[in-house]
Amino acid sequence: MFKIAMLSPIAWRTPPVGYGPWERVVSLLTEGLVARGIDVTLFATANSVTQAKLHAIVPAPYEEDKTIDPKVWECLHISEVFERAGDFDLIHNHFDFLPLSYSSLTNTPVLSTIHGFSSPKILPVYRKYNKKTYYVSISNADRSPELDYIDTVYHGIDLENFTFQEIPEDNLLFFGRIHHDKGAAAAIQIAAETGMKLIMAGVIQDHDYYRSEVEPHLDNDRIRYVGVAGPELRDKLLGGARALLHPINFNEPFGLSVVEAGACGTPVVAYSKGSMPELIENGTNGFLVSDVRSAAEAVRSLAAISRRKCRQIVEQRFSRERMVDDYIRVYQKIIKEKTK
């Protein structure tokens, strides 16, 4: 079996304690590969937890230890894997565009999972290394027409960490970054329109936005913010909600919280942007809407959604095992091509 170098981001631990969606996916994939007997070396922060071989040059995540200079330690972290490139059959990059600038210095093939484009300004790097390396998209909606892709691989989740709940509590849930992109303010408006209680959870990424658009509405009764939710609270909140509100203001590459909610049996009411039509079957595991008014109407129609069907869709389409299978096929295709 082949040897894989798995390059994780260093903003958070792998797996993250709370927020850290890229690191969470890297962890699930790494552990799933190891369980299949594949030799994986995980390049991540020193406090990371894995059954793979951990190779760490970065002492701590820079979002948790502000003495860590991101640029300095990103350089040290990325160079470490490429200086050992000859030890591996493939380098799997989850670190965005920067590692691509090292890729021509080795004969070891480099596969990059593109977790999203933070800005069109980063596209020149991807264009330069197009056809020289390999790209995987995490949804068809997030593909750039300027790039070539070897495949689309949807994220998977560990279903054992999400408890199916047939009968929810009488509240809605917003679960994500407190930021305009994620639509936290719209979620508050939707809840007000329906007269339902709203629980909000997630890292405050934009403090000005939180202070102006969210905090004035918090009353610890109808609208509550409960902070960043770890695994246990996440499971409780997702399973206990009548619906997850996902009124995004950007073309989201993928929505882990959408899949996680479904695993708990909770339907999602989402703005139909980005990858949402690929994750949500309108009227089956949630509703695709366009604004606050249509979202409120969807909330009033939640009785038509089978919570058990929500769970079944995740089991069929978004399990960790399916994700691991897909990536193994991609690895085999690349390695076979490179050894011709």
Domain 3-156+320-338 has CATH 3.40.50.10740: no
Sign of CA dihedral 325, 330, 336, 338: negative
Overall CATH class of domain 159-317: alpha beta
Q: Give φ, ψ of 57 to 5 degrees.
A: -110, -20
What is the helix, strand, coil percentage profile of the chain, to 5? 40, 20, 40
Asked whether the domain spanning 159-317 has the same topology as the one spanning 3-156+320-338, the reply is yes
Give the Cα separation of 275 and 253 in Å (integer). 6
Q: What is the pTM of this model?
A: 0.93
Ordered by start, the domain boundaries in the chain are: 3-156+320-338, 159-317
How many Å separate Cα 19 from the centre of its chain? Answer: 10
pLDDT of residue 83: 97
Residue 1 has pLDDT above 80, yes or no: no
- The β-bridge partners of 145 are none
pLDDT in tens, 245-299: 999 999 999 999 999 999 999 999 999 999 999 999 999 999 999 999 999 999 9
pLDDT in tens, 191-220: 999 999 999 999 999 999 999 999 999 999
Is the bond into 15 cis (omega within 30 degrees of 0)? Answer: yes
pLDDT in tens, 25-40: 999 999 999 999 999 9
Residue 90 has pLDDT above 80, yes or no: yes
Give the Cα separation of 224 and 199 in Å (integer). 5
Report whether 334 contacts 109 (CB < 8 A).
Answer: yes
